Structure 1
Amino acid sequence: MQTRGARPEWQVRLARERIEILLGLAREQREDLKRSSRYVELARKIGTRYNVRLTAEEKGLFCRKCNAVLVPGKTKRTRLDEEAKTVSIKCTNCNYSYRKRYK
């Protein structure tokens, strides 16, 4: 039995496909920053509306703050901190930075 307010499975599946298509287009259009950011923004909106989580790989594709596609050396700066065992990632578009732990 379906819970109240939950989307039907076919809608969730369709949303997942659309998110994958939009993020694929964002990867292809890395050179055009406005267009790729718009694709990421649309994919995130679809995910929010249909309650579809993005995978870790998909989350690492774009900046959490400005939705810019992160291209190493162009829109993304990555540094390793050996002592703290973290990877520091900085968006050069909006200067937002965050850290991820590694073992």
Structure 2
Amino acid sequence: MSSKKVLIISVHSDAERLGQALAAAYADAATAAGHSVRWLQLDKLNFNPVFSGYSKSPALEPDLQAAQADLLWVQHISLVYPIWWAAHRRY
């Protein structure tokens, strides 16, 4: 089997959460299998999310430039995000 470039994209960086544990286990297993792994944690990116319009074209912030480079590098993507299954609360 050939080595792949794996990008894990996650959105919940709380180490106490199941999603992060699953992403970490996935990264460990992929690395152990000989794949190159990068991890993009969306909630840790530092950028201005306010769109300034088409007349201005500001340069991408460093975190977005790095994320863009990861997306150009990758051969396999794994998405890890929380799903709330019918979390009903009574108020």
Taking structure 2 as the reference length, the TM-score comes to 0.35
Taking structure 1 as the reference length, the TM-score comes to 0.32
- Asked which structure has the greater RCO (Cα within 8 Å, sep 6+), the reply is 2
